[in-house]
Amino acid sequence: MALKKTFLAASVAALFLGTALSAQACFTVVVGKDASATGEILVGHNEDNDRRILTSQYWVPAATHKKGEMLVYEPAAAKIPQVEKTLGFWWTQTLAPDGYSFSDGFVNEAGVLVVSNNCGDTVEKNEKVNQGGVGYGIRRIVAERAHTAREAVDIAIELTTKYGYTHEGRTYTFADRNEAWQVALLRGHRYLARKVQDNEISFLANSYSFTKIDLNDKENFIASPDLIEHAIKIGTYKPAKAGDYSDFNFREAYQPDRRRAADWNKQRVQTFMKVMTGKAPDDHNAIPQSIIPKEKVTAWDVQKVMRAQSDQVDRSVTGWHLYDLRDIGNLDTHDSVVVKLTKDPLLTVSWRSNARPYETVYVPAFPLAGPAVAQSFMDPAAGTKAQFHATAEQLGFSIDRNVYTFVLAEQFLDWMPELREDVIDGIKDFEKAKAEELSGIEERARTLAAVDRERARQFLHEFNVLNYNEALGAASRVLQKAAQWDVYVTRDTLSLSDEKGTVDVVLFSKKGFDATKLDQNQTQFGSAWSNGNDELNTDRAKPVKVTFKDVNGDSLKDAVITFPVKGAVATTFAGVNTELFLFTKVDGKPVAGFDTVRITK
């Protein structure tokens, strides 16, 4: 490996059914239109996923399909007949090494939004499915076909009834300009749908939130015909009075208490309650499925929730500000979005963070106008093919892929508290300026749309592109400020099967920076992505030896740190060109830098 490569990089930077499940986390907030300051439904969603995740934004055009075309997503799932015509949609892809079935988000041209939350660990683990069942297909098919949120519910129920749902438990949120529904699906063929009331805020982390249900209320509830009878049969529900099901509680009947009591669920919903109401019950079972706010809620209120931090987390434990799932905007929030669903779908507004919302700006955009080309590094067809068949090259590090600018910036920031505080102050200024600008943009677009909708779409697309470029530039400046130190890994490849080998990593001294003052006890090397439990990668390598010598001939002694390969490659994937970070402290100051290697088996 040539030193030139590292210096150049530093300056630029200055399973189920044979597929992988998405991670345990996510957080969703739905604000009914009467609870909203503008009278429009608001949806906030954090997509939280473990290990190496790349997000891209696509516009998939409306299409006409050939008769007999079949939809094939997860290799072992059911093949589903395609319809003749499909809608266009904005697609947020979660690209993962093993493929993710339950993480992508959508807003289609009819103004229908789709997101979901993992609510696994349910009583339904062995229910049978047909022809391999349906998983990813639900969200994608809804995006392609649903003209309303209510139609989305019907599509999800039809697919679940016919094929069976492959995941142990999940709650989907479908919303449009008129109403929002949340649909709890269970492994197999059972479901429960509830309409979010206009005057309330519904919220959930990663356990079922539905409590009392009234199956006689056909306007607000839709359930499997045997939902209650099945719970009685398996012993998870016993009515206080025979034949009277008014005390039926869905989340108690279908989900063990341990899921609701888990700190990464309980603390996030408690944080929500504190942000929105000023207090939260200690008993997780006392937390309601929704609240009625005292004051009207804005999109910026929802953004505050989505980046909220738990006051129950001790930030001094690890040295990193974010290290597990107990924050709403947490270590593994790779994508956060707040959407305002407007009467004219073209004017629907989204605010997206492009990385962890705690450390990244929310950028306004109009989904139906399409994202900037730079927001993805593949075209939609290639992205679709890669969903469950991503190649090592597609997952590999390249600073030419803009997603890495945001990812690298947040990975530096979490180790550097002073810079993080500066960035957070800058976020406030950026978002304030955008908020002041947005109403004028909406009005101009509305005026244009009245006479020429395509011209209005072009105007809004230009707005999307310029805003994204501005956010990318801000992230680039953060990265250039953070990446001040040159790091060099002395090997081009590292093997996942190397149990006993070591690798040397050089931290170079320079004028004003003495690498010999490195604190060996505060030094780690390896992947900055989380582990498989959505927690800080604590398996990163610790030094086994440190020597000081002039490596590059500039008469300054550099730090040569020897690490075990085993820890260096923890949470990485074979074949992928991977960025590995050195995190340390030099003269008491947090220092970080990275170099790239290819991971082999």
Reported as a single tens digit per residue, the pLDDT across 433-446 is: 999 999 999 999 99
3-state secondary structure of 405: helix
Average pLDDT over residues 162-188: 97
Q: Is residue 77 within 8 Å of residue 18, measured between CB atoms?
A: no
Nearest CA to 202 out of 185, 183, 223, 228 is that of 183
3-state secondary structure of 457: helix
What tokens does 474 get?
């801000």
Residue 77 CA to residue 166 CA, distance in Å, equals 8
Q: Model pTM? A: 0.94
* HEC-encoded secondary structure of 113-128: EEEEEECCCCCCCCCC
Strands 113-118 and 70-71, by their bridges, are: unpaired
> Sheet holding 290-291: strands in order across?
290-291, 201-204, 27-31, 41-48, 333-341, 349-352, 363-365
Residue 532's pLDDT is what? 87
Determine how many CB atoms are found less than 10 A away from the CB of residue 43.
Answer: 27
Nearest CA to 91 out of 66, 74, 115, 63 is that of 115
Q: What CA–CA distances, in Å, run from 163 to 80, 156, 157, 443?
A: 9, 11, 10, 45
Give residue for tokens 């270590």.
331
Q: What is the mean pLDDT of the chain?
A: 94
- pLDDT bucket at 14, cuts 50 / 70 / 90: very low
Strands 493-495 and 363-365, by their bridges, are: unpaired
CATH class belonging to 27-213+252-476: alpha beta
* Cβ partners under 8 Å of residue 420, min gap 6: 321, 359, 413, 414
Residue 212's pLDDT is what? 86
Max alpha carbon distance in the chain (Å)? Answer: 87
Nearest CA to 410 out of 394, 427, 396 is that of 427
Q: Is residue 339 within 8 Å of residue 42, measured between CB atoms?
A: yes
| Angle at which helices 417-449 and 453-482 cross, to 10° | 170
Give the sign of the dihedral formed by CA 234, CA 235, CA 240, CA 241: positive
Give residue for tokens 């589903």.
80
Q: Report, in this order, helix, strand and coil percent for the chain, each rounded to 5.
A: 30, 25, 45
Residue 35's pLDDT is what? 98
Q: Is residue 202 within 8 Å of residue 220, measured between CB atoms?
A: no
Strands 589-600 and 493-495, by their bridges, are: parallel
Nearest CA to 135 out of 110, 109, 159, 162 is that of 159
Alpha helix (H) ranges present in 14-113? none
Residue 315 CA to residue 425 CA, distance in Å, equals 19
Measure CA of the first residue to CA of the last residue in the chain; give whole Å.
20
β-partners of residue 364 are 351
* Domain ranges, ordered by start, for the chain: 27-213+252-476, 485-600
* HEC-encoded secondary structure of 125-162: CCCCCCCCCECHHHHHHHHHHCCCHHHHHHHHHHHHHH
Q: Is residue 88 within 8 Å of residue 346, measured between CB atoms?
A: no
- The distance of Cα 376 from the centroid of its chain, to the nearest Å, equals 16
CATH architecture of the domain with residue range 485-600: Sandwich (2.60)
Residue 11's pLDDT is what? 36
541 against 425, higher pLDDT: 541
Average pLDDT over residues 422-427: 92
Strands 363-365 and 333-341, by their bridges, are: unpaired
At position 119, the amino acid (one-letter code) is C
Whole-number percent of the chain with pLDDT over 90: 92
Cα-trace Rg, the chain: 25
Residue 40 CA to residue 176 CA, distance in Å, equals 10
Determine how many CB atoms are found less than 10 A away from the CB of residue 591.
Answer: 23
- pLDDT bucket at 316, cuts 50 / 70 / 90: confident
Give strand ranges (E) for 396-551: 487-489, 493-495, 502-507, 524-526, 545-549
3-state secondary structure of 309: coil
Nearest CA to 445 out of 514, 394, 369 is that of 369
Q: Is the pLDDT of residue 521 over 80?
A: yes
- pLDDT bucket at 10, cuts 50 / 70 / 90: very low
Residue 24's pLDDT is what? 60
Average pLDDT over residues 334-339: 95
Give the sign of the dihedral formed by CA 150, CA 286, CA 215, CA 163: positive
β-partners of residue 501 are none
Strands 290-291 and 201-204, by their bridges, are: antiparallel
- pLDDT bucket at 17, cuts 50 / 70 / 90: very low
